[in-house]
Structures are given as C-alpha cells and as structure tokens.
C-alpha cells in the first residue's frame, strides 16, 4: 500500500521550478510504479497548470511504458508460447487502459461462428474456405490498402474494431483463430509480405517442410503454392532461404509487429515513439 497523502504531496511538487526538487519528486513517484497511476490521473483532472499537466502525463506514460517493458521480458522468459498474449503486450504500449477481455471475446466470437459451421472435418482447403467465408464475408475483415502505413493497422484492438489491418495483424488474428479450432495454420516471415502456412500434420506433403499450401490473409485468405513464393522471392532478387517458406516463431512475429510500428511512426515523424519501440525491439533481440 502506498501512502496517499505522501503521494499527493509529491504530485503537488511536480511543477517545482527547481530541477533538483523536480528530479527527486519524479524519481520518488516513478518508484511507486503502477500504484501511483490513479493518484496521478486524479491530480491531472484537477490541475489547471499546463506544465503540471504535462509532467503528470509524461510520468504516467513513463510508468506504463516500464510495465510494458517488464511484461514483454516476462513473456519472453516464459517461452513466448501465447501469441495473443504477446500481441496484447505490444497493444498496451498505445492502449494501456484497454479492456483486454474485450479483445479475447471478439476473437472467441469469430471462432465460435466458424466452429458452428464446421459440421464435418472437411479437407484442409475446405476448412480454409470456411474460415475465409466467416472471417472476410460475414465479419467483414479486409486489408487496409488505402492507409497502409497507419500505425493503427498494427494494434489488435483497432483491427478488431475497424475490421481493417495490415498483412501481419490480419495474419495474426487468422492464425490465432485457426489454432483455437485445432487447424494447423502458422505465420511465415516472408520479406515484404507476411503469409500463413497450412501444415500437413501427417507430414505426407509435397514439401520436405510438411506444408500443404500457403494463405494470404491480406488478400481475403487466397490460397497459393510454393511456386508462387519462389516467384515472389525472384522478383525481390532474394535467394530461396528455408526461413521464407517455413513457420516462424512467436518472437519473430512480435519483432515484425514492432518493426512495422517503428516504420509507421518514422513516416509520421514521431521520434519519441520510434525510440521507445526500439527499446522494445532490443528486449526482443
């Protein structure tokens, strides 16, 4: 428990003109961590002084960013098994107060709508066609082609709200739902384009890597083969490296989400956000 009157007294000193006093107060409030946030937010609402408001807002962000960094470290140390958890941690960077259960419920709703229509097992291609029908036609998801560089395309809560996203955010949601339905669809870290692979779990496929086919989540779940990946790499003048064909790890996916955000914020000229996201990328590296 923190001492409320002590915290409130410290907050009142945040606009002190003496840099030493400010540094001391700032450091002390920062050390309280998450427990100080509600007091800071209450003080922000009552503050009329622009400097005090700015300092409170910066301090709240600093505390919340520290929590994101810590959560990301813990996710990595825990083995990075839960992709949705990783995506939600990155989401907290921009939306620290988000009700994450809402995101989980939205994903469960789409999963349920697909499951209700899956009467029999069906072939892998039939399963994907059914997912595509529910995901793109019924729920209305599509690639954001008009505003592709918008950072909002990388935040899962925004993609679920607007039904528009970039290659990786749509692929993440698609694969999470497929895996919840025990359908083996996983992300593939193709340069300049993030795709999905449907794994042949009996390993009796035409590829040594046991992949039946690929899925383009950005293009309404379009199904294509290995030759198309070959052609794409040829256009990019890249060698046919194994990693461009096979499923990547959850850490690779989260790194790519962070890189997309860095690129989007660089274009927008948000240097502070670029610096902070580079800190998150360093944790991942």
Residue by residue, pLDDT tens for the chain (285 residues) are: 778 888 888 888 788 888 888 888 888 888 888 888 888 888 888 878 888 888 889 889 999 999 999 999 999 999 999 999 999 999 999 999 999 999 999 999 999 999 998 877 688 999 999 999 999 999 999 999 888 889 999 999 999 999 999 999 999 999 999 999 999 999 998 888 899 999 987 765 444 568 999 999 999 999 998 888 878 878 878 777 777 888 999 999 999 999 999 999 999 999 999 999 999 999 998
Contact 171, 196 (CB under 8 A): yes
* Residue in the block written with tokens 């002084």: 49
- DSSP structural state of residue 190: -
Total residue length of the chain: 285
Which residue from 267, 54, 23 is spatially nearest to 147, judged by alpha carbons?
Answer: 267
Q: What is the pTM of this model?
A: 0.90
- DSSP structural state of residue 206: S
Contact 164, 151 (CB under 8 A): no
Distance CA(77)–CA(80), nearest Å, equals: 7
């Amino acid at each position: 428990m923190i001492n409320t009157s002590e915290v409130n007294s410290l907050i009142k000193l945040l606009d002190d003109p003496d840099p030493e006093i400010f540094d001391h107060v700032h450091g002390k409030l920062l050390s309280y961590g998450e427990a100080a946030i509600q007091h800071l937010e209450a003080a922000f609402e009552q503050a009329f002084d622009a400097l005090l408001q700015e300092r409170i807002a910066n301090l709240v962000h600093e505390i919340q960013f520290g929590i994101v960094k810590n959560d990301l470290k813990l996710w990595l140390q825990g083995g990075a098994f839960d992709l949705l958890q990783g995506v939600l941690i990155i989401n907290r960077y921009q939306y620290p107060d988000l009700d994450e259960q809402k995101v989980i419920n939205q994903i469960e709703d789409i999963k349920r709508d697909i499951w209700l229509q899956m009467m029999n097992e069906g072939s892998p291609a039939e399963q994907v066609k059914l997912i595509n029908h529910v995901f793109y036609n019924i729920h209305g998801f599509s690639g954001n082609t008009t505003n592709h560089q918008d950072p909002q395309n990388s935040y899962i809560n925004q993609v679920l709200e607007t039904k528009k996203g970039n290659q990786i955010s749509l692929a993440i949601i698609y694969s999470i739902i497929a895996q919840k339905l025990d359908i083996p669809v996983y992300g593939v870290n193709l340069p300049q384009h993030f795709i999905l692979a449907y794994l042949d779990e009996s390993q009796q496929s035409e590829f040594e890597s046991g992949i039946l086919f690929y899925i383009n989540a950005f293009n309404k779940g379009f199904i294509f083969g290995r030759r198309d990946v070959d052609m794409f790499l040829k256009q990019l003048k890249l060698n046919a490296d194994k990693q461009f064909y096979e499923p990547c790890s959850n850490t690779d996916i989260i790194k790519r989400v962070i890189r997309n955000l860095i690129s989007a914020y660089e274009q927008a000229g948000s240097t502070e956000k670029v610096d902070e996201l580079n800190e998150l990328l360093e944790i991942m590296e």
